[in-house]
Every structure is written in C-alpha cells, then in structure tokens.
Structure 1
Amino acid sequence: MTTATNAGVASGSNDQAKDGLYKKVFWRIMPFLMLCYVIAYLDRVNVGFAKLQMSVDLGFSETVFGLGAGLFFIGYFLFEVPSNILMHKVGARVWIARIMITWGLLSAVFMFVETPTQFYVLRFLLGLAEAGFYPGIIMYLTYWFPSHRRAKVIAVFMSGIPVAGILGNPLSGWIMDAFHGSSGMEGWQWMFLIEAIPAVLIGLATLFYLDNDVKSAKWLSDDEKKVLQADIDGDQKGKESAHGFGAIVKDGRVWLMCLIYFAFVMGQYGLTLWMPTLVKATGVVGNLQIGLLSAIPFGCAIVAMNLIGRSADRMRERRWHLVVPALMGCVGFIGAAVFADNTAISIASLSLAAAGVLTCAPLFWSLPTSFLSGAAAAVGIAAINSVGNLAGFVSPYLIGYFKDLTKSNATGMYMLAVMLVVGAIATLVTKPSVVNK
C-alpha cells in the first residue's frame, strides 16, 4: 500500500512539474504570437472598416468591395503551401519575420488606392505576402505542445481575432474620424498607414525574440528540453509521416477537413469583414460609435472560444465541441438577418454568431493535427488552410453581390447560416477515434 501510495504521489508531482513547465513555455511564446496575430488580422480585415469612407470616396459598389476583399485569399491560396514548406526548412523565426514585414509595407501602400484595379491588385499581393503566417503558427505550436494540450493553446492564439476586433474597430473608427482631412488625406488613408506600422516593428522584433523549436530555446534547461522533446516525439508516433503533396491529395480525411474548414471560414470572414456594415445598417451613426458597438460581439467570442477550448482539452472530445458553436453561429446569423433594423437585438445576434464562428476555427485545428505530423503537417495544414480560406474569397464577394442584388444583407446572412450547418454535419462524419486524443 505504501509503495503504491508513494508511486501515486511521485506521479502527481511529475504531472505538476510538467504542467509548470508547459506554463513556462506558454508564457514565453503565446503572448508574443497572439500579438502577432492581432496585428495580422487587423491588417487583413481593416478594409471592412475603411469601406465606410473608402467606397463613398472612390465610388466602389458593394460587389467591387466584396471582390477586392476576397482577392486577398486567392493570393493566400496560391502561396500558402510553398510558404509553409519554406518555413519548415528555414525556420519559424526568419520566415515569420519576413511575412510580417512584407505585409506591413503592403498594408501602408493601400493609402494610395484610387481605382478598383489598384484595390484588386493590392489585396491579391497582400494575400501573397501573408500566406503561410496562420498555418505556419499552427505548425509551430506542434513543435512545442502535444495534441492533448493544443486546443486550449490554439484558442488563446486565435483570441487574436476578437482582440483585433475589440481594439481595432474602435481604433479604426477613431483614426478615420480624428485624422480625416489632415495633411490633405482622408481618414481611411491615415488608418491604413498608421495600422501598418506595428506589423513592420513586430516583424523586426521576431528576429530577436522567437526560437525555431525546443532545441534552440536558450531559456530552457537541458532537462526541460528533454521532457518537452520526449512529449513531442511521443505525440508523433502513429501519425502520418508521408509528406508528398500527392499523398496528401489522396487522403480523404484531408479533403473532409478542407470541407469543414471552408464552411467555418465562410462564417468567420462574413462576420469580420462585414461587421461594421451590418452595425451601421441598424441605424448607428459615427465611425467611433460603430467601432465600439462592433467590439461587443468580439468580447463575447473571447469568452466562448477559451471556455470551450478548455472543455475540449479536459474532456478530450473534439466533434461536439465544434458542432455546438457552429450551430450557435447559425442561429446568430439568422437573428441578425431577421432583426436587421433593431440595434440591440442585432448586436445580441452578432454576439452569438461571433461566439460560434470564432470558436470553431481554433477547435477545428485539433482535428487534422491529431493525425498529421512533421513534414506531413507542413503540407497538410497548409493545404487545408489554403482550400478552406478560399471561403475568404467566396464569402465577402457573395455577400456584396447579394447586397447589390437585393438591397439587403439578409440573403448573405442566411447563406452563412446554411454553410455552418454543412460544417457541423461534416464534422460529425469524422470518426471519433481519429480526432478525440
């Protein structure tokens, strides 16, 4: 009895020590990565806020704006797999820095846009520049955390999306109002310039702060490195090691992941790119006021995505933890469409939609990373993210097209609701034995 008790105490002590080690890793890399993602997402979707002035000043229709916003994801799609493969070869530190500096410079150039063609070209180039950042970070986290600790970590990282909304929307509105007309420039031009600067600065900081993997981390002792590397190596056993693109294409599980992610991304970008327009349509006046109200749904999303992410890791269950928020998003979009002229109910509905769709993305990545690792993960994650993010092109374009066609946002909201149901059904098709780890 005494021996068994001592073994239990020793095991408990080891678990506590390991938890403490992972907390050390978490606090070293996650705040920085989250900051990077806040800046990345802000520069990706601030065009949605710029639209409030930009479309009027430049005479852009809803369809022109939707097409331009979506072209980002065509460039993103084309370069994402090559970008992730390059990061796997040259290391995260240099490659992530390159991505951030490039997209920061391009974001600033948007202040010179005058024609739809210029808008289209720059959005496409911005997608090329940023391609590989998000899937690169997802792959990077597999270097540090085993799969059963990953849903919570990815949820924290992806909290950058709602944080970008909470901070970025009011900031964008304030910049556009406060700087409008200064030095002969419009408010939206100042917004693109000012919000591009942090990307370049943080990109440079990445070169000095980020480590490529556990082995290169000088802030870990040799014993700590051994513990972490043993966990990572053990987590890779039994996962796919084939890394050829042909092998990935032939894997039916990867295509199912593409479908699920496509459905969820439809909802994500429908929400984040059109949120200011949806809030304004309820009768709200003033860019700052629109920004402040737009921040509310993102605040709800932060709470939901972290609570559900923790629950998924604790229960080691993935499918229903994805299905429930997907259906929440569906109900939220329907409510936003039905009560489009009521500000209070619309904000409540958009809050439910945001809590649902923004929770889906971080939890989704616990599915493919449960059966892909190493070089297979580099190709597989990038391939899934590339195909899935084509929804970032389809979603804003169709919403803009339907808005021009029907003079209402309702049709676009119903479309997003249907896509979330499709994603939920596809998630339930996934075998629990594959992903509940």
Structure 2
Amino acid sequence: MESTLQTGAVRSFEDAVYRKVSWRLVPFLMVCFLIAYLDRVNVGFAKLQMSQELGFSETIYGLGAGIFFIGYFLFEVPSNLALHRFGAKLWIGRIMITWGIISACFVFVKTPTMFYTLRFLLGLAEAGFTPGIVYYLTCWYPAHRRAKIMAIYCMGSPLSGIIGNPLSGFLMGGMAGVAGWSGWQWMFLIEAVPAILLGLFCFFYLDSSIDKAKWLSSDEKRVLQTAKREEAKAAGPEVRAGKVFTDPRVWLISLICFCYVTGQYGITLWMPTFIKSTGVTSPLHIGLLSAIPYIAAIFTMYAFGRSADKHRERRWHLIIPCMMGAVGFLALPWVIHSTSLSLVFLSIAAAGILTCTPLFWSLPTAFLSGAAAATAIAMSNSIGNLAGFTSGYMIGYLRDLTQSGNSAYFMIAGMLMLGAFAIWTIPAKLVNK
C-alpha cells in the first residue's frame, strides 16, 4: 500500500513538472509557428491582387510559391545540425529575424525574377525552423508525451489560417492605396514585423537544454533528465548522424512526409483561390470563409494527438487523417459550384492533412535519438517539403493548362493515398511507443 502511494506521488510530481514545462515552452513556440506559417503562405492571399497588378500567370505564381521549398531543401539539414551545435536560443532567434526581414522585402516585388529570388531566399532563411522545434521538443519530452504536445504546437498552422487569413483580407482591402502602396504590399510589411520581434525575444526566453533552465528546480530537472536517459537506453546505441542517409526507414518516412505535404500546401497556398473559384470576390469574405477549414483542423489535431498518446498507437492515427485529406480533395470537383459544400469538403481535407503533421513527427524520434534524430528530422522534412515546390508548381501549371482545378485535386488525392499506404508498411512495433 505504501509503495503504491509512493508511486502515485512520484507520478503526480512528474506530471506537474511536464505541465510546468508545457506552459513555459509550448504557447510561445506555437505563436512562433503561427507567424512562421503566416509569412510562408500569405503569398496565397497576395496572389489575389499581386498577380493581376503585376501580370503574373497561374504558372508564375505556382513556381514562385513553390521555389521557396528549394531553398528550404538545400539548407534544412545544415540548419538543424547548427541548432544541435549552437542551441535553440541562438539558432531559432536567428531564423525568425532573417525570415522577417526577407518577408518585408516582398513589398518591392515588380517582376517574376524578383518574386522567385525572394521566395528562394525566404526558404533559405526559414530552413530548419520546424524540424528544429521538433528536435528541441524531443530534448524535453519522452516519446509517449510528444504526440499531444506536437499537436498543440502544430495548431499554429491552422491558427495562422484562422487569424491570418481574415487579417490578410482586411489589410489587402483596407490598406489599398495608403501612401501609394497596394494592399498586398502593406500586408507583407505588417505581417513581417512579429517575426522579427519574436526572434529577438527568443534570445531572452528560450533555454537550449534542461540544465540551463533557471526556472526549473534541481528535482524538476532530475525528473526530465531521468525520463530522457530511460528513453535513450530503450532506443539502443545512438546512431551516427551520417548513417541516417543510408537508413531505409528514414527514406520511407521521407516519402510519407512528401505525400502529406503535397496536400498540406495544396490547401494552404491555394485555399483563397479555391474559395474565389466558387464565386466569392471580396478579399475579406474570402479570408473569413477560409478560416472555417482551419477551425475544423484544430479540433481534429487535438483529438487525434490525445488519442495517439493515450493508446500509444501511431500508424492508424496517421493513416486515417491521410485518407480524410484524399476524400476531401476527391469530392471538390463535384461541389465546386457551391461555396458551402466546397467549404465542407475543404474542411475535411484540411482537418485530415494538417493533423498528419504532429503525428508524423513521432516516427523519426521513435527509433533515433541525438544528432541522428536531428538529421533524420531535417532530412525527412527537407525531402517532404520539396512537395511544396512540386505541389505549388503543378497546381498552377494544371490550372493554366486545363482552365480547371480538377486534375490538380485528383493529383493531390493520389499522393495522399500513396502516403497512407506507405504508413501501413511500417511495422507497428517500430513506432507504437
């Protein structure tokens, strides 16, 4: 009886420590992710005015939107290794300040070449942010606590749609003509400022490791360090970072990432265009309506993340959202005449696709740790995010070629179904922890 009481007291103290860590780190990181995502995809809103004003075709926009991910791909792994070496405080702050400055420079875009160049540089600047945060959180939480935490952190993505899309629509409509600038120019400038301010705040707020956290007592640090040691012991000998590139498991999860990211940027980069094609014309109305699918995504992300941790099951919790995304896109060609029905299936697609992100990150950290985990996270994310390039460019090209979005919807649905099949091939014992 006494032993049971002691065990309960230990568990209660451990839960309290992780609650303290979560309240300290997760809200701030979620806000950072919200701003990162907003600066990455607000070009989808700028397109509504910028393309017409500058004479950009759908293909030019799609290539420019997608070329971001080439820069992201090239610098992703080096950036995450730099974070592992220099610490989160320095590196995440550097990333945010750099991308904020480059994002503000979009107000000067006049030609396709300038557009392509700045999108490429923005990708270079932001490379390493998301996998860096994922790796950073693995330094604080063991595997069985990470899915829910990642789900909360990744809510920054749909929140950027809920908050950012109406804001972008408002800025583009309300600021048009002020000081001789177009609405899309003011949108880029104003939405870049929070990234710079948050980047500066990172230097004072984040701690690069458990040991350096002055807001934790020695007993609280001991709880966190013990959990990490036990997890590392269960994972077996640490794999050298260089071995990651020849590990077939890492290539498989990179394929999975590529498939669901195809759908992710199909949604986030083209949502305003999808809604406009149903007959809505006001930028503010488009912004308000495009927030609805992201609201659905928030509830779905939290429910799946909590369930995955509770049941310690990862595969089916990832397969089902992938298939939800595929169903949503397959239905769009048949309901495009109706704004309300289109929103229903866009909501199903967004809820499924965006839920994949936090659940996916439990895969590489389930069988790797340390620098190898940092490399695997960066590698899978960089390869996966090449889908942002192929998805953005192919959707624009297919829309110009066919004067319809139907073939693009089918392409995205097919990639999501391929991703679901790839997840199914992973042995359950490898990732269900």
Task: Please tell me the TM-score bracket, short chain as reference.
Answer: over 0.9
- Evaluate the alpha carbon distance shift between residue 394 and residue 239 of structure 1 in structure 2; reply closer, same or farther with a 3 A threshold: farther
Q: Return the alpha-carbon distance in structure 2 between the equivalents of residues 119 and 153 of structure 1.
A: 36
- Kindly indicate whether the alpha-carbon contact (under 8 Å) linking 1:176 and 1:186 is maintained by their aligned counterparts in 2: yes
- Kindly indicate whether the alpha-carbon contact (under 8 Å) linking 1:326 and 1:356 is maintained by their aligned counterparts in 2: yes
The 3-state SS of whatever aligns with 1:217 is coil
What is the letter of the counterpart of residue 42 of structure 1? L
- Kindly indicate whether the alpha-carbon contact (under 8 Å) linking 1:280 and 1:290 is maintained by their aligned counterparts in 2: yes
| Among candidates 310, 321, 338, match of residue 317 of structure 2 | 321
Tell me the residue number matched to 2:186: 190
Q: Return the alpha-carbon distance in structure 2 between the equivalents of residues 430 and 182 of structure 1.
A: 55
| Among candidates 24, 35, 48, match of residue 20 of structure 2 | 24
- Kindly indicate whether the alpha-carbon contact (under 8 Å) linking 1:260 and 1:427 is maintained by their aligned counterparts in 2: yes
Residue 242 of structure 1 and its aligned partner are, at CA, apart by 2.2
Tell me the residue number matched to 1:177: 173
- Kindly indicate whether the alpha-carbon contact (under 8 Å) linking 1:302 and 1:355 is maintained by their aligned counterparts in 2: yes
Q: Give every structure 1 segment of 4 or more consecutive aligned residues whose post-TM-superposition deviation is greater than 6 Å.
A: none
Q: Is it true that 1:83 corresponds to 2:79 in the alignment?
A: yes
Q: How does 1:291-370 map to 2 (within 5 A)?
A: 291-370=287-366
The 3-state SS of whatever aligns with 1:192 is helix
Residue 244 of structure 1 and its aligned partner are, at CA, apart by 3.3
Tell me the residue number matched to 1:426: 422
The 3-state SS of whatever aligns with 1:390 is helix
What is the letter of the counterpart of residue 207 of structure 1? F
The 3-state SS of whatever aligns with 2:270 is helix
The 3-state SS of whatever aligns with 1:12 is helix
| Among candidates 88, 91, 100, match of residue 104 of structure 1 | 100
- What is the CA deviation profile of residues 280-327 of structure 1, one whole-angstrom value per residue up to 9, with x for unaligned ones? 100112000000000000000000001000000000000000011111
- Evaluate the alpha carbon distance shift between residue 422 and residue 240 of structure 1 in structure 2; reply closer, same or farther with a 3 A threshold: farther
- Kindly indicate whether the alpha-carbon contact (under 8 Å) linking 2:239 and 2:369 is maintained by their aligned counterparts in 1: no
What is the letter of the counterpart of residue 338 of structure 1? W
- What is the CA deviation profile of residues 307-362 of structure 1, one whole-angstrom value per residue up to 9, with x for unaligned ones? 00000000000000001111111111112222111100000000000100000111
Residue 9 of structure 1 and its aligned partner are, at CA, apart by 2.2
Q: How does 1:392-411 map to 2 (within 5 A)?
A: 392-411=388-407
The 3-state SS of whatever aligns with 1:215 is coil
Tell me the residue number matched to 2:141: 145
Q: Return the alpha-carbon distance in structure 2 between the equivalents of residues 416 and 387 of structure 1.
A: 17
- Kindly indicate whether the alpha-carbon contact (under 8 Å) linking 1:240 and 1:376 is maintained by their aligned counterparts in 2: no
Tell me the residue number matched to 2:260: 264
Q: Identity of paired residues, percent?
A: 59
Tell me the residue number matched to 1:61: 57
Q: Is it true that 1:244 corresponds to 2:249 in the alignment?
A: no
Give the alignment's TM-score, normalised by structure 2. 0.99
Q: 5+ residue gaps in structure 2?
A: none
- What is the CA deviation profile of residues 79-110 of structure 1, one whole-angstrom value per residue up to 9, with x for unaligned ones? 01000111101110010000000000000000
RMSD of aligned residue pairs (Cα, Å) = 0.8
- Evaluate the alpha carbon distance shift between residue 201 and residue 11 of structure 1 in structure 2; reply closer, same or farther with a 3 A threshold: same
Q: Is it true that 1:278 corresponds to 2:274 in the alignment?
A: yes
Tell me the residue number matched to 1:228: 224
| Among candidates 180, 196, 202, match of residue 200 of structure 1 | 196
Q: 5+ residue gaps in structure 1?
A: none
- Kindly indicate whether the alpha-carbon contact (under 8 Å) linking 1:301 and 1:358 is maintained by their aligned counterparts in 2: yes
Q: Return the alpha-carbon distance in structure 2 between the equivalents of residues 327 and 378 of structure 1.
A: 28
The number of residues matched between the two structures is: 432
Q: Which moved more, 1:7-16 or 1:312-321?
A: 7-16
Q: Which moved more, 1:316-325 or 1:10-19?
A: 10-19
Q: Return the alpha-carbon distance in structure 1 between the equivalents of residues 10 and 229 of structure 2.
A: 18
Q: Return the alpha-carbon distance in structure 2 between the equivalents of residues 382 and 275 of structure 1.
A: 27
- Kindly indicate whether the alpha-carbon contact (under 8 Å) linking 1:262 and 1:387 is maintained by their aligned counterparts in 2: yes
Give the alignment's TM-score, normalised by structure 1. 0.98
- Kindly indicate whether the alpha-carbon contact (under 8 Å) linking 1:240 and 1:372 is maintained by their aligned counterparts in 2: no
What is the letter of the counterpart of residue 400 of structure 1? G
- What is the CA deviation profile of residues 391-422 of structure 1, one whole-angstrom value per residue up to 9, with x for unaligned ones? 01010110000000111111111111111100
Tell me the residue number matched to 1:71: 67
- Evaluate the alpha carbon distance shift between residue 380 and residue 99 of structure 1 in structure 2; reply closer, same or farther with a 3 A threshold: same
- Kindly indicate whether the alpha-carbon contact (under 8 Å) linking 2:165 and 2:288 is maintained by their aligned counterparts in 1: yes
Q: Is it true that 1:118 corresponds to 2:123 in the alignment?
A: no
- Kindly indicate whether the alpha-carbon contact (under 8 Å) linking 1:240 and 1:371 is maintained by their aligned counterparts in 2: no
- What is the CA deviation profile of residues 210-267 of structure 1, one whole-angstrom value per residue up to 9, with x for unaligned ones? 111111000000111011011011111224622333x112100000000101001000
Residue 20 of structure 1 and its aligned partner are, at CA, apart by 1.1
- Kindly indicate whether the alpha-carbon contact (under 8 Å) linking 1:318 and 1:435 is maintained by their aligned counterparts in 2: yes
